[in-house]
Amino acid sequence: MIVISCKIPEIEKILLKVFQKYAPEGTYCLPESEQAQQATTAACWFPDIEQLKQLPQLKVIHSIAAGIEHLDLNLIDPSYLVCRVIDEQHQKGMFEYLLWAVLYYQRQFDRAINQQKQQLWKQYRQFSSQDIQIGVMGLGHIGGYVATHFAQMGYQVSGWARSKKNLHRVQSFAGNEELDGFLAKSQILINLLPLTAQNHSILSAQVLKKLPEQACVINCGRGQHLVLPDLVAALDSGHLRGAVLDVFEREPLEQADPLWTHEKVLITPHVASHAPMSIVVEQILENDRRYKEHEPLNHQIDSARGY
């Protein structure tokens, strides 16, 4: 039995409809129902952890997304098994979004849009993929996929992670001691890190200033990775050319936020990529089956590391 857990009533209703559409009848319930007492897995988005603790059979906490920071691991007892969703369509969707964002700068579309506002006709040099240095922060399932696909297209690709990775045609950097070298090679910096206590606010002035002059930042990790006042200062000073931002610490972004009108910032409303909900339900049901049959779970995370 799957129990659907979300503290946001309108989202809980959406999740219930999703399970009604894709899951067999009688395999899911809400926390208030009698069936919840038999639930072994919780499908979660900002779950009510205290409520879940009251369910005696519950053993698996399952994110409905690739990220798990919304679960608040500090509140989850280590005895629970925590899993997330990993899907190839999600990886492909992220790469498509990032390819668009890279081309936005590579082909000078940011400058063309600004020129249109001024009714200015000016042509810029056309750069090929071989001319562009891309740096990917985070080389997990999505970051590794993105980095290798950019490399296959002929871009100069570097990647930075907690430990060294062996990815075809991707130069690997790891740890704090190699961060500066990675940043120096990142004309376009893509952040795909998971959110942990160690990398909260990692994109600060100290890091941004080590990027090459006129570098661009694309943030599809989490809003908490980026120190927005430091980004704006780097843009206003001319050190950074621009930023594409898909995630924010508070969502939706408040209407009064000055980022909306900053000429060097392009905003998208957390739409870079999502796994199809049919796949989400399928993976949660499969992991519930695996738990009951004492099989290893798919996409289980290390709660101590946070990913």
- Work out the end-to-end distance of the chain between its first and last CA atoms, rounded to an integer number of angstroms: 25
Quote the CA–CA distance of 255 and 260 in Å, as a whole number. 8
For residue 303, the model assigns a pLDDT of 86
- Would you call 270 a catalytic residue per the annotation? yes
Residues in CB range of 88: below 8 A, 6 or more apart: none
Do 183 and 210 meet the contact criterion of CB atoms below 8 Å apart?
Answer: yes
What pLDDT does 307 receive? 83
Known active-site residue 239? no
Task: Given the residues 84, 141, 162, 222, select the one marked as catalytic.
Answer: 222
Residue 304, pLDDT score: 80
Dihedral Cα 167, 218, 142, 82, nearest 10 deg: 130
Continuous segment of H or E residues that includes residue 97: helix 88-106
Q: What is the pLDDT along the chain (307 residues), one digit of tens a residue?
A: 999 999 999 999 999 999 999 999 999 999 999 999 999 999 999 999 999 999 999 999 999 999 998 998 889 999 999 999 999 999 999 999 999 999 999 999 999 999 999 999 999 999 999 999 999 999 999 999 999 999 999 999 999 999 999 999 999 999 999 999 999 999 999 999 999 999 999 999 999 999 999 999 999 999 999 999 999 999 999 999 999 999 999 999 999 999 999 999 999 999 999 999 999 999 999 999 999 999 999 999 998 888 8
What whole-number distance in Å separates Cα of residue 210 and Cα of residue 7? 40
3-state secondary structure at position 238:
coil
pTM: 0.93
Distance from C-alpha of 263 to C-alpha of 1, rounded to nearest angstrom: 50
Question: Would you state the pLDDT for residue 129?
Answer: 98
What distance in Å separates the CA atoms of residue 240 and residue 238, rounded to the nearest whole number? 5
| Total residue length of the chain | 307
User: Given this model, what pLDDT does residue 306 score?
Assistant: 82
pLDDT for the residue numbered 87: 95
> What is the four-CA torsion angle of 270, 273, 274, 275, rounded to 10 degrees?
-170
> C-alpha angle 232/237/240, rounded to 5°?
70
- Give the model's pLDDT for residue 260: 98
**Token digits of residue 101:** 């964002």
Q: Which residue has the tokens 């779970």?
A: 297
pLDDT value of position 181: 98
> 239, 262, 270, 299: which one is catalytic?
270
